[in-house]
Amino acid sequence: MVDITFSTGTDQITIKGDLVFGTDFYDKRRNHFIMEVADGEILTADSGPTICFGTLVIKSVSKTDAAAFRDFIESKMVYTLNSFSISGISGVDLGLGFGETLTSVNFTEDNTQGVFTFVAPGLYDINFSYRFVRGAS
């Protein structure tokens, strides 16, 4: 079990659960175009940021922590509206390196459908998707 802390500028919540393989991230480059011109040369245009999309898969979260986290998403993060940070977790790479804290992160959904899954009496699994712009602070 690990403690995972999410915090906005004024509020924070810590939930306890098991991170599993499936916690993953990938990068997507915005405004990146590749074009082959008439003479066969390949031109690349690039003017956008790199956005990192990730998913935290947290298993065996207590009913109390899951309810508090759902409330935090709805009332503090306000879904995609407010940015937040995710505290670094030893041995876990959230997109910036092992144990690094993410800042200026946004939830990627406008609802919580599929985020909380009831798995046993008093326990939930959480699939939490997030995004941040690399190099932004």
- Contact (CB, 8 A) for 59 and 17: yes
pTM for the full predicted model: 0.81
The span from the CA of 95 to the CA of 136, in Å, is 13
The model's pLDDT over 27-56, given as tens digits with 9 standing for 90+, comes to 888 877 888 989 999 988 877 888 999 999
Average pLDDT over residues 11-24: 84
- pLDDT above 60 for 137: no
Domain residue ranges of the chain, discontinuous segments joined by +: 2-133
